[in-house]
Amino acid sequence: MTTITRRFQYAMGHTLYQHEGACAHLHGHNYVALIEATADALDTVGRVIDFAVVKELVGGFIDREYDHRFLVNRADPRAVGLRVLDPTVRVVGYNPTAENLADELLDAASYLLRPLGITATSLTLWETENAYATVRQ
């Protein structure tokens, strides 16, 4: 089985509701996402998929939903006020931890690539240079 990996980099802010430390504060990170994908067979060019297609589909999702956005859990009492201050704040139904974000991004990538016969098999999301989460299908 042949797999490909596409790297995405974006800046995003968040806060973690009920976190016991500094991540309870409003803050941001420069994230790096590595998405791994495979297909049953290589195409006629000899590829799993053109990297540009992955960039367009998955990168487009990242640009719309994460890049230069701020994510806050709807259970956080600050969510409404943050949305009033900035309507681009994305209120989500989960705590935007690296683990939850990686899971959401892998689900989105799977949904976007599946019609092309591509399986998104794993996603690693680096929140900092020293900390990351990986989810696998």
Question: Which is the catalytic residue, given 29, 56, 68, 104?
Answer: 68
Round to the nearest angstrom and report the end-to-end CA distance of the chain.
15
Active site residue 127: yes
Structure tokens at 119: 């399986």
Question: Which is the catalytic residue, given 14, 36, 104, 127?
Answer: 127
- Helix (H) / strand (E) element for 133: namely strand 131-136
In three-state form (DSSP H/G/I as H, E/B as E, the rest C), the secondary structure along 29-48 is: EEEEEEEEEEECCCCCCCCC
CA distance 85 to 71: 13
Active site residue 23: yes
CA distance 10 to 25: 20
The sign of the torsion formed by the CA atoms of 65, 66, 67, 69 equals positive
Question: Which is the catalytic residue, given 23, 29, 65, 99?
Answer: 23
Q: Just list the catalytic residues.
A: 23, 68, 127
